[in-house]
Structure 1
């Protein structure tokens, strides 16, 4: 488990003082993948450097399994850092070393025996699906394979925490999906706490259990991924699953934006809604999928000739929330008058 308590990082002094991280508080439990997202300049890279103590926080604490790393001496910190494995955006492999030799680096540094190193490297390359690439050099590997070697190296010292700093950035969708599947498998098998720092919202949907948004050094919103996606008022939930363009409705239809709120929405809810209201339902757009075992998403519907209160009531009974786009109901003549 890893926890941040009032973590603050300040650069400079006086008029040149810049607060990059300001009192961050969050925890990542064992067996949890916690994603941190945010725009460029939000402080994500600084957060990664402070978590593995490549940079010392100005104040606050980084606790790993109850031990405050922020208070350790450099000698003590070198030992404690073994509990945190880091996967970087650039794989960081040495071009003149084979995949096996790159994975062996942390073990060589600690003075493991050749037999111990060979056994552990073999285990790790098998774990990441690259046993047949042990003798390959980085230039002979794909981007996804190089990142797998980086993951194997991060696991060499049996850490309890895995820090992924933009590890899938720049990979193609297929390689990204394979890395995500590998991280989830490692989380389950090794009971790791994984802090996944990224700007890729689609990847967060694939990998995260919980997510926080970092903006100008502050956590502005956080929560379980599924809860955020089911909360119609969540800015982070909308950013993770933005509303797409939809088909135009007929002139008699009102446009309704519907979001999944309940955990057990029936798959035939559109048919049930039409039967309850006694009118045809037009599906103008939708984005619905299963995430972490729960169906989440939203749909845009065209519904005409029904009291809005009946529509919201019927949808609520089905575990859905809805808002009516009043602008879509404005008469065409009014629009022409506005343009004139």
Structure 2
């Protein structure tokens, strides 16, 4: 487990001081992958350097399994850093060393015997699927393979925490999916805490259990991935939703955006909604997928001559949030309040018929 408490990093002094990280708080439990996202300049790289103590925080704490690493002296800190394995954006491999020799580096520095190091390296390369590439040099490996070597090296000293600093940046989609799958496998097998720092929202959806958005040194929003995706008011949830093209509504139809807000959205919600409204519902586009074992999604629909309040209420009964899509991108979205009781299956014959 890794816990970040009131972590602050300031460069410079007095009038020239720049606050890069401002009192960050978050926790990554054992067996959890926690992503941190944010634009360039948000402080992500500084966060990574403070977590592995390559940069000393100005104040605040970095705790691994309850021990405050930020209070340790240099000698103690060198030993404590072994608990945090780091995977870098650039693989950081030595070009004149083979894959096996690169993985062996931390073991050599620690003074592990040659026989033990050889056994451990073979075990690690097998774990990341590169046993047959042990004698290859970095230039003989693909980008994804080089990153796998970097992961094996990060695991060499049996860390309790993995820090992934833009580890999939620049990789092609197939290599990214491969690295994501490997990290999830390692998380499950070794019960690791993984802090995954990235700017790639699609990758966050694939790999993370929870996510925080960092902006100008502050965490502006955080939560479990599924909860954020089901919260219509969440800016981070909207940013995580994959963009999908949709068709334009037909003449006479109003355009609506529906998002899943519940785990209980029925698979036949289109039929149920059309039955309750007594009007055809056109699906203009949709993205429905499984994240962390739960169904999440959103859809664009077109509907003719329907009372907006009635549509919002019917959608809510199905576990959906419904919002009108304005004709122009810059137009304001009208507020629709549903003050009356939302219909239930007992009070709505149409909902009862399709239940």
What is the TM-score when the length of structure 1 is the normalising length?
A: 0.95
User: What residue is the counterpart of 2:148 in the other structure?
Assistant: 148
User: What residue is the counterpart of 1:338 in the other structure?
Assistant: none
What is the TM-score when the length of structure 2 is the normalising length?
A: 0.91
User: What residue is the counterpart of 1:27 in the other structure?
Assistant: 27
Alignment of 1:1-340 (within 5 A): 1-241=1-241, 244-325=244-325, 327=327
Q: Distance in 2 between matches of 1:114 and 1:244?
A: 53
Q: Distance in 1 between matches of 2:234 and 2:114?
A: 53
Which segment drifts farther, 285-294 or 167-176?
Answer: 285-294
Could you give the per-residue CA deviations for residues 81-123 of structure 1, whole angstroms, max 9, x where no partner exists?
0000000000000011110000000000000011100110011
The secondary structure found in structure 2 opposite 1:47 is helix
Could you give the per-residue CA deviations for residues 244-264 of structure 1, whole angstroms, max 9, x where no partner exists?
443211221111110000112
Q: Distance in 1 between matches of 2:62 and 2:159?
A: 16
The secondary structure found in structure 2 opposite 1:21 is strand
Q: Which runs of 4+ in 1 moved over 6 A?
A: none
Root-mean-square deviation (CA), in Å?
1.1
**By how many angstroms is 1:242 displaced?**
5.4
Q: Distance in 2 between matches of 1:286 and 1:223?
A: 24
**By how many angstroms is 1:275 displaced?**
1.9
Q: Distance in 1 between matches of 2:286 and 2:293?
A: 19
Q: Which runs of 5+ in 1 are unaligned?
A: 329-340
Q: Distance in 1 between matches of 2:129 and 2:325?
A: 50
Q: Distance in 1 between matches of 2:170 and 2:89?
A: 8
Could you give the per-residue CA deviations for residues 34-83 of structure 1, whole angstroms, max 9, x where no partner exists?
00000000000000000000000000000000000110000000000000
The secondary structure found in structure 1 opposite 2:199 is coil
User: What residue is the counterpart of 1:336 in the other structure?
Assistant: none
**By how many angstroms is 1:306 displaced?**
1.6
**By how many angstroms is 1:325 displaced?**
3.0
